[in-house]
Structure 1
Amino acid sequence: MASKSQWITGENGVDETQETWQNGTELPDETRVRDTGKVVGQNGETE
């Protein structure tokens, strides 16, 4: 089964995940978000 990952080939998102955990904005459900301005979605969504 093929994967539909949004990560660039050869990347797995670990660095981005760690950066967001350390410097992201905490939401009420205790998740964290950070907008890097990189286009990651198929419809132009940013990360």
Structure 2
Amino acid sequence: MHKPSGCAFHNRCPKCMEICKTVDPAMVHHGAEGHMVACHLYDKEAAKA
């Protein structure tokens, strides 16, 4: 099975951005209790680009 480039969910995510189509998001801390997410919406470094 072929994995799409970028985020694996970009083709079905309602908040997809251009970066999602080409760059795989890194795991980042979000919220309390050590929660982690892999989404450009929560990646402060990606948001600067």
**TM-score, normalised with respect to structure 1:** 0.21
